[in-house]
Each structure stands twice: as C-alpha cells, then as structure tokens.
Amino acid sequence: MLKHISHIGIAVKDLEAGIAFYEKLGLKLEGIEEVPSQKVKIAFFPCGETRIELLCPTSEESPIAKFIENKGAGVHHVAFAVEDGVANALAEAESKEIRLIDKAPRKGAEGLNIAFLHPKSTLGVLTELCEH
C-alpha cells in the first residue's frame, strides 16, 4: 500500500535557521505555507521524490510546540504516499490491526488527504499516509 516516502516532517524552533541549514546543504526552498488549524508554518524542500518539511509552531498551543517541549526539535513524522487513496489505506491498516489516529482522511498541507497511524503501532514513529 506504500509507494514512496512523500515527506519527512522535522520540528524546528526557528524556521529561518532551519531554512538556512537546508539551503546550505544545497536544497531549494519551494515555499512556505501556514496551516492555521495546526498552528504551524511549514517550509518545503524537495529532495528527489521526497520533501523535507520543516514544521515550526506559530503558537505555544501548537501540537508541534508540545512535541518540541516533550522530545526536543527533530524528526516529527514520516509520511508515505499510498497507492490507492488514504481511505483505502486506512481500511487496510485497520484490517491488519494497526492502530489509527485518524479513522478517516483529513486535509493536510496543500489540501491533500492525509491520515496518521498511531506511533504505538508503528515502532514509535508517527506515520502519515498521504495522497498525491
């Protein structure tokens, strides 16, 4: 059901510093998007088929702010593009007794369908499924 790694979400405290770091490594900033529902600003860096997404909280209420407080800045989630739509992938995951955070797809960055699997079922890695 997984096609390729869509993106890796990295929690950062300072978006400008994060952008400067990946530019230093030779990646090109594709854009920055604010997602008010998650209280987060995201900087996108394409890297082959995959993107690095720097996730920076815009408020202390942001789930990303809470993540940084608990675990420190660093890898927040790994997102896989799925073959046949997020709803089908969720149904398949559930049939294999994988715990879900989202029972149904919701809208992520750029209005694409996404859903999260529970880290308790995914070796401790918050795992996102997304549509392309």
Angle at 112 between CA 59 and CA 19, to 5 degrees: 50
What one-character DSSP code corresponds to residue 131? Answer: -
Between 81 and 97, whose beta carbon lies closer to Co ion? 81
Burial of 123 (C-beta count, 10 Å sphere; 0-12/13-18/19+): exposed
- How near is the Cβ of 77 to Co ion at its closest, in Å? 6
**Which of residues 24 and 53 has its CB atom nearest to Co ion in the complex?**
53
Nearest approach, Cβ of residue 19 and Co ion (Å): 17
Distance from C-alpha of 52 to C-alpha of 59, rounded to nearest angstrom: 22
Q: How far is the CB of 28 from Co ion (least distance, A)?
A: 19
Query: Which of 18, 86, 128, 129 lies at the binding interface for Co ion (CB under 5 A)?
Result: 128
- Quick one: which of 79, 86, 89, 129 contacts Co ion (CB under 5 A)? 79
Q: Please identify which residue in 9, 18, 57, 105 interacts with Co ion, judged by CB under 5 A.
A: 9
**b/e 6-20 (16+ beta carbons within 10 angstroms → b):** bbbbbbbeebeebbe
What is the closest distance, in whole angstroms, from the C-beta atom of residue 132 to Co ion in the complex?
Answer: 12
Q: Which stretch binds Co ion (CB under 5 A): 32-40, 41-49, 64-72, 73-81?
A: 73-81
Query: How many residues lie near Co ion (CB under 5 A)?
Result: 3
Range 91-99, long-range pairs (CB < 8 A, 24+ positions)? 92/1, 93/1, 93/117, 93/129, 97/121, 98/122
Name the residues that contact Co ion, by CB under 5 A: 9, 79, 128
